[in-house]
Amino acid sequence: MEHNIAVIGAGTMGNGIAHTFAMSGYQVQFYDLDQSSLDKAMTTIAHNLERQVVKNIINESQKFEILSRIQPINDLERAVSNVIMVVEAITENETIKLELYRQLDKYSNESTILASNTSSISIGKLAAATNRPDKVIGMHFMNPVPVMKLVEVVKSITTSTLVVANVTEIAIKLGKTPVLVNDYAGFIANRVLMPMINEAIHALHEGVSDVEGIDTIMKLGMAHPMGPLQLADFIGLDVCHSILKIMEEGLGQPKYSPCPLLSNMVTAKMLGRKTGEGFYKYDGKNMEVSPIFAPRN
């Protein structure tokens, strides 16, 4: 049991988290209610492991060994039984998460740590939905999880110091660099990142520069590997919008209010890479500025 963990949610973050734990020797009980999402996630993990084989990070036999450690399950009670920790990586929706935490509390062992990959929702609020608030903690991974080294370890006012120490140790075993932060809206990563993205959208909205101009300035002038508008597309404009609204409400400051252009794009379902169009238009591996924002001669 000491090497058994559960990952809840088979989206981009969930499959990356399952992949990373399995690579580090953990047995992963990988849950999603939707079987097709689980199947797609397992295909993605296999593809990403194959890329690691090509890069000589692992060999072919290790690839199959890692895959064998991930057990897809679409029964929540079975998925979270007899694990030391549950890592939740479902949609960034507070109501849905709260209901899940009530179920996790009911189905998992009393000693099981409940960790959330939430990027902005209060850990204390999630903890209050359980009878084990001392064992609820944030474990915010960065995307792509197998590559990015940072994990924000988010301590609420009720999280025990022992749980913080255990989760910090687990993050180190995964080859990550854990950084402890306290439970305030947006934590650190998104509290700094999202206002920058939002300001870049304001600059576009006000006509200060165009999409490529804004992204090029931040890449060449600030040594960012990706411009803020492209990054917003990769994160998902709906996710950016949701995080900004959570920070606006949680911190009580209008400076976090989403730019009207961002709100309009979310309403129009222009959500970035996952829908094929945001600030850029995506066609397979090709990317060009969305016609809506393309400079007009």
pLDDT tens digits, 205-245: 999 999 999 999 999 999 999 999 999 999 999 999 999 99
Q: Is 150:179 a contact under the CB 8 Å cutoff?
A: yes
- What CATH number has the domain spanning 189-289? 1.10.1040.10
Alpha helices in the chain (DSSP H): 12-23, 35-54, 60-68, 76-79, 94-107, 123-127, 161-173, 189-205, 211-222, 228-235, 237-251, 260-267
198 is known as an active-site residue: no
Q: Are 79 and 4 in contact (CB under 8 A)?
A: no
Determine which one of 15, 140, 156, 212 is catalytic.
Answer: 140
- Cβ 79 vs Cβ 36: under 8 Å: no
State yes or no: pLDDT of 45 exceeds 90. Answer: yes
Q: What's this model's pTM, rounded to 2 decimal places?
A: 0.90
Instruction: Find the catalytic residue in 88, 92, 152, 277.
Output: 152
Burial 166-194 (b: 16+ CB within 10 A, else e): bbbebbeebebebbebebbbbbebbbebb
- Here the tokens at position 145 are 């999880």
Q: What is the pLDDT of residues 95-121, one digit of tens each?
A: 999 999 999 999 999 999 999 999 889
Domain boundaries, the chain: 4-182, 189-289
pLDDT over 90 for what percent of the chain? 91
Catalytic site residue 190?
yes
Set 190, 198, 242, 290: catalytic member: 190
Contact 6, 51 (CB under 8 A): no
Mean pLDDT, the chain, as a whole number? 95
User: Average pLDDT in the 236-258 region?
Assistant: 93
Is residue 24 part of the annotated active site? The answer reads: no
Q: Give the residues across from 30 on adjacent strands.
A: 7, 72
Is residue 202 part of the annotated active site? The answer reads: no
Name the fold adopted by 4-182: Rossmann fold (3.40.50)
pLDDT of residue 289: 96
Out of 119, 120, 122, 290, the active site residue is 119
Q: Is the pLDDT of residue 166 over 60?
A: yes
Residue 1: pLDDT band (50, 70, 90) is low
pLDDT at 295: 74
Collapsed DSSP state (helix, strand, coil) of residue 29: strand
